[in-house]
Amino acid sequence: MHQNLKQPNHYYFELIITIGLYTIIPFLLLCAFNQPTVDDFDYAFRDNQNDFLATQAETYYNWSGRYFSTAISRINPIRFGSWVGYKIGSLLIIASIVLSIYALISTLSRKSKLKVKLSLTALFTILYFSLLPDISRGFYYMTHYFVYQLPNILTIVFLILLLNFIKLSNRSTKLIYLGGMIAVCVAIVGINELSLIYLMTTLAFIVFNAWRSSHPAFKYMLFVFTCSLIACLAMILAPGNYVRMGLQSGDTGNFLWSVLASIILIPTYFYKWGLSLAIVSILYLMLWRKVITFKAGYNALFKAPLSLSVSVFLITLFLMNFAYTWSVGGVPMDNVENVIYFYFVLGWFYNLHILMEKFSLQFRQIRYSPVLASFVMFTFLLLVFNVDNNISTAYLDLLSGKAERHNRELNDRYAFLKTSGCQNCIVKPLTEMPKSLYIYDLTPYIEGTESPVNAAMRKYFKKESIYLSSPGPTGYPTGEDNLTTLHAIGRKLKHKVLGDGH
């Protein structure tokens, strides 16, 4: 590195860390107002009716091959009547995301200063939290974050294990890490189909690179890949997958439509996330490229031609899209896009580093510009404080009182259902459903029809029926945008400070 190049101002790192704290605070506070919904009740009832093996077999043969997500659903706290435990679950999943990002950065750059690692962790946390397609089902709806968030965290754990494994020389320790990698990969495969795809393409990519460079880790990674492939077959060939597929209402199994839709979806991801990632990438290159130290020993296993890495990235996105469109007959929903977004960010920055390797001389000659850095930072702040992003939505759900009111109304509802002797129970509708904590709510009585929400809650509370007394909010979005909510908060503050006469 050229020592005469001007280094970025350390105050930028402190600013990013501060913004990172600003980002995670509302999501942590919202955990106190989180409540279970639909599948949380349904699976709690199911798991309390059958033992572990019976539930695994019944689900595998009649509903889904997702063996690990079926297994982990048994730790749902409401199985044991613990609403506090359910809220703690959200707290733990958010903390795990942030800590896993920090652990990966620390593993890659042990010699970097703490402030540098913390600021880079904050940068990726801000990026991830602000653009995650579905916050409610990514952080708060337990059944869904087990399926669509947990595999992302486990993927980071796998990468950390792999990066440490490469440096090991002791055979016994290597075998322990090898077992850990296999266990994590088998778990990821058994959670959802899209995570299965990006894991297998990533493993194939790593195995190919190890073979191409005659890396000593080749035989170990080939073994990890083989074990994961066997788990894939067990997951994909589960009879329950085809039972479930037959119940989908979309145009399932349409090959041509699935191919075309899967291709068209790829540029939409660049449209939705590309600008923000480009701004963060420029910021990363300007502020961290010259101060963070990545271990050179990792390059042999992860270095690849740019054309190959970009091709694997795009093919993986296509395969994830295809798996969903072919099996469901529609485009991925927001909760499914949580998995796609994670891989998109991971692949984007991996390819950025491949690009930096390819044009390393040109990148070294770029001088740090305080003016340009300030402009890019300003643009980044505009993204962070956008009134319509997830961060602003979380703050508005708290400050408007929506989250507290939502939590209070549901507490009253559940207390009534627990203590009332009614068998055909009528409950009040919710006033509103905050966007960050969106759940599927009950419906009023409709002759000949029972919604899955009503059925799940009826079974859990051991009632003959549960219905709303009148229609409530229809769900996300609630009909009020963030700017309208902000104006409402402003009016309340004005009346509180100046009185009703002003």
Average pLDDT over every residue of 420-437: 93
1 domain-assigned: no
- Encode pLDDT of 433-481 as tens digits: 899 997 788 999 998 899 999 999 999 999 999 999 999 876 554 557 8
Q: In which band, very low, low, confident or very high, does the pLDDT at 380 lie, cut at 50, 70 and 90?
A: very high
Whether the Cβ atoms of residue 436 and residue 394 lie closer than 8 Å to each other? yes
Are 149 and 295 contained in the same domain? yes
Average pLDDT over every residue of 184-211: 97
Q: Does pLDDT of 282 surpass 70?
A: yes
- Encode pLDDT of 256-277 as tens digits: 999 999 999 999 999 999 999 9
Amino acid, res. 437:
L
400 domain-assigned: no
| Confidence (pLDDT) at 246 | 75
- In order, the DSSP letters of 65-87 are --HHHHHHGGG-GGGGT-HHHHH
pTM greater than 0.85 (yes/no): yes
How many distinct structural domains can be found in the chain? 2
CA distance 460 to 409: 19
Are 413 and 311 contained in the same domain? no
Of the three residues 395, 429, 463, the one that is the final residue of a domain is 395
402 domain-assigned: no
Are 318 and 419 contained in the same domain? no
Instruction: Give the ranges where 218-296 is alpha helix by DSSP (H).
Output: 218-236, 239-246, 255-287
Are 298 and 423 contained in the same domain? no
4 domain-assigned: no
List 424's β-bridge partners, or say none: 465
List 465's β-bridge partners, or say none: 424
Q: Does pLDDT of 253 surpass 90?
A: no
| Confidence (pLDDT) at 2 | 39
401 domain-assigned: no
Are 468 and 330 contained in the same domain? no
3-state secondary structure of 467: strand
Are 370 and 424 contained in the same domain? no
5 domain-assigned: no
Are 185 and 225 contained in the same domain? yes
- Encode pLDDT of 35-61 as tens digits: 998 899 999 999 999 999 999 999 999
Are 209 and 330 contained in the same domain? yes
- Encode pLDDT of 111-162 as tens digits: 889 999 999 999 999 999 999 999 999 999 999 999 999 999 999 999 999 9
Are 266 and 351 contained in the same domain? yes
Are 60 and 196 contained in the same domain? yes
Q: In which band, very low, low, confident or very high, does the pLDDT at 3 lie, cut at 50, 70 and 90?
A: very low
CA distance 77 to 57: 22
Percent with pLDDT over 70 in the chain: 93
Q: Does pLDDT of 66 surpass 50?
A: yes
| Confidence (pLDDT) at 502 | 52
CA distance 266 to 106: 31
| Across 16-20, 22-26, 58-62, 239-243, least confident range | 239-243
CA distance 342 to 116: 23
Whether the Cβ atoms of residue 10 and residue 114 lie closer than 8 Å to each other? no
Amino acid, res. 314:
L
Average pLDDT over every residue of 332-342: 96
Average pLDDT over every residue of 179-186: 98
90 domain-assigned: yes
260 domain-assigned: yes
pLDDT mean across residues, the chain: 91
Amino acid, res. 152:
N
Average pLDDT over every residue of 225-230: 98
Longest dimension (CA), the chain: 79
Average pLDDT over every residue of 13-17: 95
Are 383 and 439 contained in the same domain? no
Return phi, psi of residue 468, to 5°.
-80, 150
Average pLDDT over every residue of 63-88: 96
- Encode pLDDT of 307-318 as tens digits: 999 999 999 999
- Encode pLDDT of 112-125 as tens digits: 899 999 999 999 99
Are 84 and 122 contained in the same domain? yes
Q: Does pLDDT of 5 surpass 50?
A: no
In this predicted model, which residue has the larger pLDDT, 43 or 244?
43
| Confidence (pLDDT) at 4 | 37
Residue range(s) defining the domain that contains residue 429? 408-498
| Confidence (pLDDT) at 478 | 53
Of the three residues 334, 367, 395, the one that is the final residue of a domain is 395
- In order, the DSSP letters of 438-453 are --PPP-B-BTTB--HH
Of the three residues 395, 416, 436, the one that is the final residue of a domain is 395
Whether the Cβ atoms of residue 351 and residue 313 lie closer than 8 Å to each other? yes
